[in-house]
Amino acid sequence: MKNNVVLITGGTSGIGRACALEFGRAGARVVITGRDAAKLAATAAELATAGIEHRTVQGDVGLVADADRAVAETVAAFGRLDVLINNAGLSMRAKFADVEVKVIEQLMQTNFFGTVYTTKAALPHLLASKGTIVGVSSIAGYRGLPGRTGYSASKFAMNGFLEALRTELLPEGVNVLTAAPGFTASNIRHTALLANGQTQNETPRDEGKMMTSEEVAQHLRKAVEQRQRGFVLTGEGKLVVFLNKWLPGLMDKMVLNNFRKEEGEL
């Protein structure tokens, strides 16, 4: 990663923030994006304390102009782009019968179209560097999860987009990596959207029993360095993907029972 330039969307918390520190400590020059100016400043202060050369770009990846600007400012600052980590994302927690359609549209705009917009803007520079495109996906992109219809849809869409793009770019020397961390201790459940679009502000799961964002960032850095095509993390995550492929009917029942245990049963 020495002197590589890494652009991370949603880099102010959770996996994005951990990746900024992980890649930066490995020698990369880091650019992070985020919508919240205060959180950007706080993360920038952490990067500066760690001696990491960095830039910040305030913006919303779900807006094509902001995605274009993030890439443009990265290249203007450092002259190149080697790794794009599409990390920005939203989750939800509501039955489809109850949820307002605008919530699903918002998830698709951030999780899927944010990835499309930023990747489109970054592609010429990644072709020049023969770099890597990363999509931080989810187990929900392999197995539909109740109460997360919009989230699962956005991650399935991301996975399909990245798989097609990986195939297109094989002759060009650009690597495309799809990362499915499994359940990870981060703020994504705290910021999940409820049926009316308001933020949940709490988590229904025991965050202390999950893989940390820092562990995910370590796996992701190694995967980028090794130019892997993808990975699924945690034993639970790997088991879900495996069983869903071979015993889908059983998984329907198991997943439903698991999510019924959440506080505020579905």
Note the pLDDT tens digit of each residue in 138-153.
Answer: 999 999 999 999 999 9
pLDDT recorded at residue 259 = 83
Model confidence at 183, pLDDT cuts 50, 70, 90, reads confident
pLDDT at 195: 77
**Number of neighbours of residue 249 by Cβ within 10 angstroms:** 7
Residue 86 DSSP SS3: strand
Helix, strand or coil, per DSSP, at residue 233: coil
Per-residue pLDDT band at 188 (split at 50, 70, 90): low
* pLDDT in the model for residue 194: 81
pLDDT > 70? residue 185: no
Of the candidates 78, 59, 66, 57, the one whose C-alpha atom is nearest the C-alpha of residue 128 is 78
Topology of domain 5-235 in CATH is: Rossmann fold (3.40.50)
Average pLDDT over residues 165-178: 97
Give the C-alpha distances (Å, rounded to integers) separating 252 from 98, 116, 155, 199.
Answer: 21, 30, 18, 27
What pTM does this model have? 0.91
Per-domain boundaries in the chain:
5-235
Residue 43 has pLDDT above 70, yes or no: yes
Task: Give tens-digit pLDDT for 226-246.
Answer: 999 999 998 889 999 999 999
pLDDT above 90: residue 133: yes
Which pLDDT value is given to residue 106? Answer: 95
- The maximal CA–CA distance of the chain, rounded, in angstroms, is 52
Given a cut of 80, whether residue 201 has pLDDT beyond it is: no
Task: Give the per-residue pLDDT at 189.
Answer: 44
Task: Supply the pLDDT for residue 209.
Answer: 65
What's the rounded mean pLDDT across residues 197-223?
77
* Better-predicted residue by pLDDT, 195 or 254: 254
Tell me the pLDDT tens digit for each residue of 66-75: 999 999 999 9
Average pLDDT over residues 250-254: 93
Per-residue pLDDT for 216 more than 60? yes
Please check the confidence at residue 264 and state whether its pLDDT lies above 90: no
Contacts of 55 (CB under 8 A, 6+ apart): 30, 31, 32, 73, 74, 77, 78
Summary mean pLDDT of the chain: 91
> Given a cut of 50, is residue 254 above it in pLDDT?
yes
Q: Which residues form the catalytic set? A: 151
**Among 6-15, 33-42, 187-196, 234-243, the least confident range:** 187-196
The Cα–Cα gap between 111 and 93 comes to: 15
Q: Is the dihedral of CA 231, 139, 183, 178 positive or negative?
A: positive
